[in-house]
Amino acid sequence: MTIINCQLLINMRNSTKLKTLLLKYTILLDITQEGMFKLILTDKQTGKEELFEGESYGKVLSKAYSYLLKELKTPSYYA
DSSP 33: T
How do residues 35-66 score in pLDDT, each as one tens digit?
Answer: 999 999 999 999 999 999 999 999 999 999 99
In the chain, the number of structural domains is 1
Report the C-alpha gap between 17 and 20 in whole angstroms.
Answer: 5
What 3-state DSSP class applies to 7? helix
Looking at the chain, the whole-number percentage of residues with pLDDT higher than 90 is 70
What confidence tier does 4 reach under pLDDT thresholds 50, 70, 90?
Answer: very low
Which residues form the domain of 21? Answer: 2-78
Instruction: Please give the model's pTM, rounded to 2 decimal places.
Output: 0.79
Q: What is the CATH number of the domain that holds 31?
A: 3.30.160.20
